[in-house]
Structure 1
Amino acid sequence: MRRAPAAVTAAAALLVVASAGQAADWRRTATPNDRGRLRGWRDAWVAALTQARSTPDGAAAIARDRVLYDPDHALVDPVPPAGDYRCRTVKLGGGDALSFVPHEWFRCRVGQGKDPASFAKTTGSQRPVGTLYPDTDARAVFLGTLALGDETRAMPYGRDRSRDMAGIVERIGERRWRMVLPYPAFESTLDVIELVPAE
């Protein structure tokens, strides 16, 4: 895969600046559609797991890594520290053989803004870019957009419903996090992005 230009990461920083003036309250930034997706996160998760377990690969992977796929497993301090990470996306749900689609590891970065942090997947053909808003002691909220292919800039959040992304971020281990995106616009019922610090 071709590496995403640095402008994508810079765009994440711009999203942080724009949102910091809103007291880091994701509810004031989220679109009505994304507030609905976030309200339905558990329904999406349960449906996606049921579909994924219907495939041999999905059932085996979920059984091997119960922590990653358990919707009720979350630890305090949900926002990853600023730095470089390895990240991989697993798409759950979608029907038939596409109900469990794991992807390879790519590069991601968490940047520390004045108040909320930024997140950007910096390699790969589908790259979430956005802001991590504090929510509870065990959960943060991600709002951002999807950069595709060779695009050099991330689209501003709220401009294109098909590119907007919303999810919850949780810490699930000592140095392990996940971002869960319910009802993404493309391909699946639920996306799980696993993050671990880069070596």
Structure 2
Amino acid sequence: MPKSSLVAALSALALTGCSHADDGGPAAIAARAPLQWRSMATPHDRDRLRDWRKAWKTALPRARAFAPERTAAEGALFNADLALPGATPPIGEYRCRTFKLGAAGPAMLDFIAYPWFRCRVTDEGEALGFYKVSGSQRPVGLILRDSPTRAVFLGTLVLGDEQAALQYGADPNRDMAGFIKRVGDRRWRLALPYPHYESLLDVIELVPADSARETP
């Protein structure tokens, strides 16, 4: 999805209740003030974000019981309350990997760790953009500032060989919502409570592309 349409697709939800027309369109209206994630998120995503702690409390013990050594090795990444100043990652290229904690069904495992893939943080004007560039499941969306220690991600899931992201809100099963926090030196975490597929909590680790950090 082009950079400009990322902002337009997400900001459109915040503008559907406006009673007046504007020749500049949704992106132009949104540019007048900082984007507010609470007015942009769907009701279901606001519920998921509100229940973030419940997701951690349910999913993490299951993951620890299933893979105690692997979960312990990640240290700060799985500390739900850790939130260092500098929540928004700088613009640039990143390596990212996804952990799925707590099985959402009997056919799934309580802990799954995926290898490193490529991700990117971009300047979208009123917000930052987040793109998972490689892999079969690729979150795409906006990073919206919330506080010095927490940012919000709203986006959609791109699958397989799809070339473009759906508009946020068009398909609830593709919508994604989570909190971004800095958990170490040049290390960030995107935690997605109650994703629609496979797990109770997805945790995406982000480190700069030039980082020497490797999978334990």
- Give the TM-score normalised by structure 1: 0.90
Aligned to 1:4: none
1:145 and 1:113 mapped to 2: Cα distance? 16
Aligned to 1:130: 141
Match of 1:15 among 6, 22, 46: 6
Aligned to 1:5: none
* Higher-Rg member (1/2): 2
Task: After TM superposition, give the deviation of residue 33 of structure 1 in Å.
Answer: 0.2
Percent of residue pairs identical: 53
Equivalent residue letter for 1:150: D
**CA deviation profile, 1:114-150 (whole Å, cap 9, x unmatched):** 2210001010000000000000110000000000000
Aligned with 1:48: secondary structure? helix
Match of 1:43 among 41, 51, 54: 54
Aligned to 1:116: 127
> Which structure has more RCO (C-alpha within 8 Å, separation ≥ 6)?
1
Equivalent residue letter for 1:26: W
**CA deviation profile, 1:138-184 (whole Å, cap 9, x unmatched):** 00000000000000000000000000000000011120001000000
Q: 2:183 matched to 1:151?
A: no
Aligned to 1:185: 196
Match of 1:163 among 143, 151, 174: 174
RMSD in angstroms over aligned alpha carbons? 1.5
Aligned with 2:109: secondary structure? helix
Match of 1:67 among 61, 72, 76: 76
1:109 and 1:79 mapped to 2: Cα distance? 13
Aligned with 1:35: secondary structure? helix
| Unaligned ranges ≥5, structure 1 | 1-7
Q: Number of residue pairs matched? A: 188
Task: After TM superposition, give the deviation of residue 66 of structure 1 in Å.
Answer: 2.0
| Unaligned ranges ≥5, structure 2 | 12-26, 211-216
**CA deviation profile, 1:73-117 (whole Å, cap 9, x unmatched):** 110111100010000000000067610000010000000122210
Equivalent residue letter for 2:181: E
Task: After TM superposition, give the deviation of residue 28 of structure 1 in Å.
Answer: 1.0
**CA deviation profile, 1:33-80 (whole Å, cap 9, x unmatched):** 00000000000011010111121xx21122122200000111011110
